[in-house]
Structure 1
Amino acid sequence: MTTTPAIELRAHTTLDPVRGDLLDVYAEVRAPLLHLPNYAVHAFGERLDRHGAGPEFTAVLAYVDGQPVGYAYSNTIRHGDRYWQRTTPEPSEEYTGNPVVALKELGVVEAWRKTGTARIIHDALLSAHDDKPFATLMVNKLAGDGAVHRLYESWGYRDLGQSQPSPASPVLTVMIRPTH
C-alpha cells in the first residue's frame, strides 16, 4: 500500500521569502497559457510584485517533499480601491464599506488537482483574514470549460459583477462570499 505524501502549508506576509517558489509553481500551473500575454511569467511577476507590496499581503503555499505544489495569495481591499472601481455594476456598500480580503491567485499543479489541495490552501488563506466579513475573487468563466467558476460556487462564492483588470486581461467575473 502506498501512502500519499503529506502536504505542508507555509504562510507568509512578505513576498521576498517565497517569490521564487511562487514564480516556479505559477509557471507549472499555467504552462498551457504562458504564451498569452496576460499569463506570461513576466506579467505574473509584475502583478505579484505589485500585490506583494499591497496592504496585508498574505501567501499560502503547499509543499510536498519540499517542492511547491500549490499556492494562493491575497491582499486587503477597501472602499475606493481600484478593484471595486473596475467592477461593474458598482457593488453595494454592504461589500465595499469594510475591508475585504481579495484572493488574487490560486493554483495547484496538475498532479495535485482534484485532491482537495486547492480548498485546503484557500481555507488557510481565508483563516488568516477572519477579521474581514467577505472574500472576493475574479475568475474567467471560460477557465476549464466553466469548471473553475463552478468550483468557486461550490465553495460559497456568488457572482457580483464583471471586471477587466487590464487591457490584456479577459473580462472576468467578480465573485464574493462571507469569510465564515
Structure 2
Amino acid sequence: MPVTPAPTSAPAPDAQWHLENLRGHDVQADPKPWIQAYETVYADSLHLPDHREPTFGERLAFSASRPGFRLTACRVDDEPAGFAYGYTLPVTTGWWDGFEPRPGVDAGETTREHPGRTLALCEVLVHDRFRGRGVARRALTLLMAGRREERATALVAEGNTRALDLFLANGWRHVGEVAPHPGWRGHHALVLPLPS
C-alpha cells in the first residue's frame, strides 16, 4: 500500500491543539486514520517483523476490542499530529511472556496481574513534523487521566533510544526485557505507577 508522506513544515505558533479520547467502538468503526498514520511514520521500517507480523491494523483491532481500551488522538489545526492507546491487561496475559528482569527487579511481582492492575500502553506515535512539541506528553497525560489501574506498562524496541530516554525522563522504570511476538526485536519493559 502506498504511503502518503507527512508534511514537513512545523506547525504555526498559534496552532490550535485538539485532544480527544476515543473508545474501542470508535476506532473499530474507522481504523484507517490510525493505520495510515502508523504506515506514514514507520514507512522506512515496515519491512521489519515488528511492524508487519501481526500488522498494525491487526494489533489495533485486537487492542480496541479489549476492556479499558482508550485511544487519545492529538490534532493540530485539524491535522493528525499523533496518538497513544492502551487497554487494561487481563489477569491472564501474554504481555509478560519471556520476561527477563533487570537486576533487583522481582519478576513474580512485576508480571503478576490481578483485575484492573495494569494499563498496557500499546503505542505512542507522533508525526515527524510535530516531534519535540509535546504531542506524546499531551496524549499520554489525557490517556492516563482518571484511570483506575495501579500502574502503566510500555514496551520500547531495542535500539529506540530516543523513546526509551523520553520514557525514563518522565518517571518510567526500566524493569526488564521481553520479546512481544515471535521474530520481533527484543523490547525494554517499562512500568510507571499511576496516581490513585
Q: Does the alignment reach a TM-score above 0.5?
A: yes
Q: TM (normalized to structure 2)? A: 0.81
Counterpart CA distance in 2 for 1:147 and 1:7 is 24
Residues in 2 aligned to 1:43 and 1:164: alpha-carbon distance in whole angstroms: 16
Letter aligned with residue 15 of structure 2: P
The size of the alignment, in residue pairs, is 176
Contact 1:27/1:34 (<8 A) preserved: yes
Written as runs of structure 1 = structure 2, the 5 A alignment for 1:14-163 is 14=24, 15-40=27-52, 43-89=55-101, 90-92=107-109, 96-97=113-114, 98-129=116-147, 131-143=148-160, 146-163=161-178
Structure 1, residues 23-79: CA drift from partner, whole Å, max 9, x if none?
Answer: 121112212212223214971111111111112111001112322110100010133
Relative contact order, higher structure (CA 8 A, sep 6+)? 2
- Does the CA contact (< 8 Å) of 1:34 and 1:41 recur in 2? no
Moved more, 54-63 or 11-20: 11-20
Q: Does the 8 A contact of 2:28 with 2:61 survive in 1?
A: no
Name structure 2 gaps, 5 residues minimum: 1-11, 102-106
Task: Give yes or no for the alignment of 1:172 onto 2:182.
Answer: no
CA 158–13 in structure 1, closer or farther in 2 if over 3 Å, else same = same
**Unaligned residue ranges in structure 1 (runs of 5+):** none
Provide the rounded CA distance (Å) in 1 between the counterparts of 2:168 and 2:181.
24
- Report if aligned partners of 1:33, 1:39 keep a CA contact under 8 Å in 2: yes
Please state how far the C-alpha of 1:7 moved relative to its aligned partner.
1.5
1:94–1:161: structure 2 CA closer, same or farther, 3 Å change rule?
Answer: closer
Give the percent of matched residue pairs that are identical in Structure 1 and Structure 2: 24
Distance 1:37 1:136, change over 3 A: same
**Cα deviation, residue 95, structure 1:** 6.0
- Higher share in helix: 1
Matched-pair contact (CA < 8 Å) for 1:69–1:109: yes
Are the counterparts in 2 of residues 140 and 170 from structure 1 also a CA contact under 8 Å? yes
Question: Counterpart of 1:96 in 2: which secondary structure?
Answer: coil
- Larger-Rg structure: 2
- Whether the 8 Å contact between 2:15 and 2:77 is mirrored in structure 1 is yes
